[in-house]
Amino acid sequence: MKNALLLLLTTTVASAAPAITVVRDVRYAESGHPRHVLDIHAPAGAKDLPVVFWIHGGGWQAGDKGDVKLKPQMFTERGFVFVSTNYRLLPHVPMGDIIRDIAQAFAWTHAHIARHGGDPRRILVGGHSAGAQLAALLCTDAKYLRAHGLSFASIKGCIPVDGDTYDVPAIIEVAETRARAHGLPLPKAGHRQKFGDDPALHRDFSAVTHVAKDRGIPPFLILFVVGHPDTTAQAQRFNAVLKAAAVPARLFGARDTDHVRLNDNLGTPGDPATAALWEFVELKVR
């Protein structure tokens, strides 16, 4: 921890809004890998506040913990500590290592967030696109948390945003069938290439595979773009599986937006998806 503290950059942002303390590039693993870091945004003087643990998107191949737009301001102004994590990327590591990175970052957050004013018993997990798949898997497949001596007990809710891989076999089949039906080449950089060619792994990396009754799976708010056929179908499929297992779940389809803007506009005044998010948060996390 001492080594990590030497690397921290702490700034207090003063404005008309409450002051925010930002701690950047906190090392959550001792590997020395440059992507094993996270950022923490907290209201000045924070104590025992609920926590948001956020996972960026980028197709598992790109993206950064700084790609959070209005989210730190949105959550800290409402009395949350906001954590945004990096993780290793394809093709440098396999998909299994990516989700294990996420679990390790979550475990670090659970163990240390009280020092930054957060309550480790009240953590909300969210992510966009590839981050939505990772968030959903972390919150449905208990083995990743169990490896760190944790369970779903501290996760009060999960908000995956416009993911298309809650059911990996389905998205592979849809993409490849669409290509064949239209006489097009099969995808060369699609989900089969990213998730590997093993059907058993496709199922294991799918959140829908691990949903069952009485496993302590937290409530879900699944945000998606109505005009996007793949993320709409995946959201509806995931929601149906959750509800069949008696896991509280809600769908919210955003209109007049797209994959990028849905995520970027969270926190914008008057944004319908933001309103749905806060309705869910106030009900499940407070």
Per-residue model confidence as pLDDT tens digits over 149-195: 999 999 999 999 999 999 999 999 999 999 999 999 999 999 999 99
Give the pLDDT of residue 14: 39
Give the pLDDT of residue 13: 42
Is the CB of residue 22 less than 8 Å from the CB of residue 39?
Answer: yes
Per-residue model confidence as pLDDT tens digits over 45-62: 999 999 999 999 999 999
**Secondary structure element (H or E) that encloses residue 231, with its range:** helix 229-244
Give the pLDDT of residue 18: 66
**Secondary structure element (H or E) that encloses residue 75, with its range:** helix 71-77
Q: Please report the domains of the chain, with CATH numbers, ordered by start residue.
A: 2-167+206-284 (3.40.50.1820)
Is the CB of residue 132 less than 8 Å from the CB of residue 162?
Answer: yes
E-state strands within 135-194: 155-161
Q: What percent of the chain has pLDDT over 70?
A: 93
Kindly indicate the confidence band of residue 206, based on its pLDDT and cuts at 50, 70 and 90.
Answer: very high
Per-residue model confidence as pLDDT tens digits over 137-146: 999 999 999 9
CA nearest neighbour of 248 among 216, 226, 278 = 216
CA nearest neighbour of 113 among 19, 21, 17, 12 = 21
The pTM score is: 0.93
Could you give the CA distance from residue 97 to residue 100 in angstroms, rounded to a whole number?
Answer: 5
Q: To 5 degrees, how large is the angle CA 197–CA 34–CA 97?
A: 25
